[in-house]
A and B are shown apart, each in its own frame.
Chain A
Amino acid sequence: MWAQIVEELPRFFSYYNLIFFAKALGVTFALSAIGCIVGFSLGFVLAAVRLTTRPATKPLRVAVTVFIELFRRIPFLVTLMLVFFVFQGMHADLSMFTVALISVCLIATAFIAEIVRSGLESVHRNQWDAAVTLNFSYLQTLRLVIVPQAWKVILPPVFGFFVLFIKDTALASQIGVVELAFAGKAMNNKGFSAALVYGTVLALYFMLSYPLAHFGKYLERKLAPTRNR
């Protein structure tokens, strides 16, 4: 096997193949990064809506809850198909990349909203009471008091989710998006040995997710410092 790999190496790392892998890596990176950023931002918004208590926001709370509970339970592949066929039914001419992007954003938002909600709820009720009696608005309470104390509960599972999530973007290959898993399959079909192709794909996935885990640790240190310990 080694002899075969060594023999294939120069052809495998040809200029065009490198460009092909780089583009596929770019697509996986874009799906993951945009999914994480959108999911994180919208996840916070949905969690904040879900924790409101006013009767006026009840319809919104119900809608948000339905969205979160639904999309956390649908397999990613089904979400992809759903988005694909919904847009096709609307005669919207979207690229496969856009379909995949919308799907990853939906999934990430639903999962992160739930992580953020549980994080915000982990902050003791008496912190809300104190803020309310000092006339803080809902958003001020969240921004100044609750979120800073919830980081240490929110960040570890969020970054755990991100790592899983990067791997899940591979499913976009099922609708023909040329991302890393798709690139691996294509190169394998071209006749390169599976060990070489998937070894490279593995290394590239690792390159994406390893720094992310470190970034998570950095944020934890910065946003949720522990004192007295």
Chain B
Amino acid sequence: MPQLEIVDLKANYGAHTVLERINLSVEKGEIVSLIGPSGSGKSTLLRVLMGLLPPIAGQVRIDGQVLDYNDREQLRRVRSQMAIVFQQYNLFQNMTVLDNVTVAPIKVKDRPRRQVEEYAIQLLEKVGMGGKLQSYPDQLSGGQQQRVAIARALALQPGIVLLDEVTAALDPELVNEVLDTVRLLAADGMTMFIVSHEMGFVREVSSKVVFMDGGHVVEVGDPQQIFDQPREARTREFVGKILRH
């Protein structure tokens, strides 16, 4: 049974349809990358999955169970099973690195502080931020903030991690440190949904690549097929443009 299943999903911003007939399934441990031009609905799909934008039609199933995004209890369950890392990191500016990672497990999950902090320090060390526990976000570089944001997402021990263009806001020389962190997660077998413009990286880590355009899924395939033998003309055009650079 797929860990995550999206069936005929539709979402609107006001009267404007931004996602339509989205069908995808993700098996446990799979890394699914969403690619496509800006405005194609990749980030919106992640926002819908996290309940930041309620879908107006279709279904999302986690482990076979249909989720009702209008039910607050179910929404809480979704958000404890999925974690998102944002393009702009969205770290809490008023908290230290350690507090950013520990606040949700302590305050939301009521877990004991000592245990949470021990785990948080392990995570921060894993992403190479163990030496900055007491720093504030505005004292860190973009790449460092993004690595803390990844640790924060992992602190709640989610089943699925959504990465929303996590390197798009970074200076070029900082991109690799964040991608290396994502590679670590991939090596751990974490199920991930990745929106990225780093095509080399997408090709390297993905088990499945989804090409989206205009709010639709145009083509789904393994990386080699999407990049080397795309079936759809629109995919060919997009991939062709990107790989020429």
Chain A residues within 8 Å of B, Cβ to Cβ: 126-127, 129-136, 140, 144-145, 148-149, 227-228
**Known pairs A133-B79, A133-B84, A135-B79; A126 contacts B90 (CB<8 A):** yes
**When A and B form their complex, what is the total count of cross-chain residue pairs whose Cβ atoms lie within 8 Å?**
54
| A131 contact set on B, CB distance < 8 A | 92
| A134 contact set on B, CB distance < 8 A | 79, 83, 103-104, 108, 152, 156
| B139 contact set on A, CB distance < 8 A | 227-228
Decide: B108 and A140 in contact? CB cutoff 8 A: yes
- Mostly helix, strand, loop or mixed at chain A's interface? helix
Does B207 touch A at the CB level, under 8 Å? no
Chain B residues within 8 Å of A, Cβ to Cβ: 50-52, 76, 79-80, 83-84, 86, 88, 90-94, 103-104, 107-108, 136, 138-139, 152, 156
**Known contacts A126-B90, A133-B51; 16 further A-B pairs (Cβ under 8 A):** A126-B86, A127-B93, A130-B86, A130-B90, A132-B51, A132-B52, A133-B83, A134-B103, A134-B156, A135-B108, A140-B107, A144-B103, A149-B93, A149-B94, A227-B136, A227-B138
| B138 contact set on A, CB distance < 8 A | 227-228
Decide: B103 and A127 in contact? CB cutoff 8 A: no
User: Which of B79, B92, B136, B139 is the most central at the interface, judged by chain A CB atoms within 10 Å of its CB?
Assistant: B92
**Minimum CB–CB distance for A136 against chain B, Å:** 6
**Minimum CB–CB distance for A162 against chain B, Å:** 24
Decide: B90 and A127 in contact? CB cutoff 8 A: yes
**Known pairs A135-B80, A145-B92, A148-B94; A129 contacts B86 (CB<8 A):** yes
Decide: B86 and A136 in contact? CB cutoff 8 A: no
Q: Which residue of A is nearest B92, CB measured?
A: A145
| B52 contact set on A, CB distance < 8 A | 129, 132-133
Q: Which of B50, B91, B92 contacts A133 (CB 8 A)?
A: B50
A134 CA / B102 CA spacing, docked (Å): 11
| A135 contact set on B, CB distance < 8 A | 76, 79-80, 104, 108, 156
Interface CB pairs A-B, < 8 A, 17: A126-B90, A127-B92, A129-B52, A129-B86, A129-B90, A132-B51, A133-B50, A133-B79, A133-B84, A134-B103, A134-B104, A134-B156, A135-B79, A135-B104, A135-B156, A136-B104, A136-B108
Q: Which residue of B is nearest A125, CB measured?
A: B90
A159 CA / B91 CA spacing, docked (Å): 30
A146 CA / B52 CA spacing, docked (Å): 18
Q: Which residue of A is nearest B100, CB measured?
A: A130
A131 CA / B138 CA spacing, docked (Å): 18
Decide: B107 and A144 in contact? CB cutoff 8 A: yes
| B92 contact set on A, CB distance < 8 A | 127, 130-131, 144-145
**Minimum CB–CB distance for B109 against chain A, Å:** 8
A228 CA / B138 CA spacing, docked (Å): 8
| B94 contact set on A, CB distance < 8 A | 145, 148-149
Q: Which residue of B is nearest A226, CB measured?
A: B138
| B79 contact set on A, CB distance < 8 A | 132-135
| B80 contact set on A, CB distance < 8 A | 135
A126 CA / B104 CA spacing, docked (Å): 16
A149 CA / B90 CA spacing, docked (Å): 13
| A227 contact set on B, CB distance < 8 A | 136, 138-139
A136 CA / B79 CA spacing, docked (Å): 10
Q: Which residue of A is nearest B84, CB measured?
A: A133
| A144 contact set on B, CB distance < 8 A | 92, 103, 107
**Minimum CB–CB distance for A153 against chain B, Å:** 13
**Minimum CB–CB distance for A143 against chain B, Å:** 9
| B83 contact set on A, CB distance < 8 A | 133-134
